[in-house]
Amino acid sequence: MAATNEAPVTHPVVSVIHATKGEPTSQLVLPGNIEPLYTANLYARVDGYLDRRNVDIGTKVRAGQVLAVISSPEVDQQLSQAKATLAQSQAALLQARAALEQAKANAELARLTRERDVPLGEQHAISQQIVDSAVQNHNARVADVSAANANIAAAEASVAANLANVARLQQMQNFERIVAPFDGVITQRNVERGDLVSASAQSKPLFSIAQSDMLRIYVDVPQSEAVNIRDGQKASIDVTERLGRDYTGTVTRNASALNDAARTMRTEVQVDNHDASLLPGMYAQVHFTLSQQHTSLIIPTSSLVIDHAGMHVVTVDAGQKLHFVPVTIGKDMGKEVEVLAGLKGNESLVASPGDLLSEGQHVELR
């Protein structure tokens, strides 16, 4: 009988790798725009013509410095008229007080006359008509005192109202001077001497000012790293136009909540700029060094198997058999991913598992 030749059994040949331990710290790089710490648009508060302009774009100014002066004859005239009205009301108040003193004197005289005539009338030394006249005159003079007091109250109210009107117009007159609200640099100038300016809401700002000695950068931290961001944390800032220059910023505040749509946390980083080497509006990369709160393993992205059951890696045991192990993935770093759970770190992993591999399958190692 002829011998039967059986074909040898072949097994898939695979390459294996091992997971590496993650670093105790990681780098998070986020883009952001550099913004001034404070900005302000300065508008006219009175109508008029620009009489004088003291600054231009790029001028460094101090808080309280006069940037421009508006000529507003209407306000000046209203203030002069209000001052005259105030003087009149103050004079009327003086007259009312003098009238009160006169009324008090008349009332006192009427009281003395009454006190003299009433006993005489009781003794029939004078007629009852004279007594009645004295009593009536005293009552009238007392009423005059009450009226004089009321006139003083009205005059005082008039003076107070006129004082308030003068103060209001003086404040309006102060608005003729456009002053810097803080130290900074003029970034926009939209007026020239002689221009008509208006206090309406639709008018353009006369100037824009920015304080750039200290700058701020807003970045959006993803959910996976939001818990690692804290106020006071340092960050390194790179600007393409300032290659080789190291800038260090500080996290000053964060939203402490995630944006519902993007799942990111708005964070503010401030950086010193007293040398004016950075300009508001520049694009920057902000580097955070984050401490890892847990020990993780790093594997190549190519070793992951993603199917309807989730994410797995394929391990090779001592008997060279395959096992599909579910894993929990953390950060995706492009060519590598972080494994948070599922591996101990000593497993042999198939470097690039194909679709034809199956659970328990025997393989050959390359």
CA torsion sign, 64 to 70 to 73 to 78? negative
Both tokens of 185, joined, read 């640099």
The ranges of the chain with pLDDT < 70 are 1-9, 24-25, 292-295
What is the model's pLDDT at position 1?
45
This model's pTM is above 0.95:
no
Spatial distance between the Cα atoms of 342 and 144, rounded to a whole number of angstroms: 101
- pLDDT tens per residue, range 9-36: 678 888 999 998 877 667 889 999 999 9
What is the model's pLDDT at position 96?
94
What is the model's pLDDT at position 24?
63
Q: What's 295-365's CATH class?
A: mainly beta
Question: For residues 236 and 27, is the Cβ–Cβ distance under 8 A?
Answer: no
What is the model's pLDDT at position 294?
64
Q: What's 44-71+176-197's CATH class?
A: mainly beta
What is the model's pLDDT at position 75?
92
What is the model's pLDDT at position 78?
94
Residue 331, helix vs strand vs coil = strand
What are the two backbone dihedrals, phi and then psi, of residue 17, each rounded to the nearest 5 degrees? -135, 175
Question: For residues 337 and 301, is the Cβ–Cβ distance under 8 A?
Answer: yes
State the greatest distance between any 2 C-alpha atoms of the chain, in Å, as a whole number: 180
Ordered by start, the domain boundaries in the chain are: 25-38+211-291, 44-71+176-197, 74-174, 295-365
Q: What's 25-38+211-291's CATH class?
A: mainly beta
What is the model's pLDDT at position 309?
82
CA dihedral 96, 98, 104, 106 (to 10 degrees): -110
What is the model's pLDDT at position 143?
94
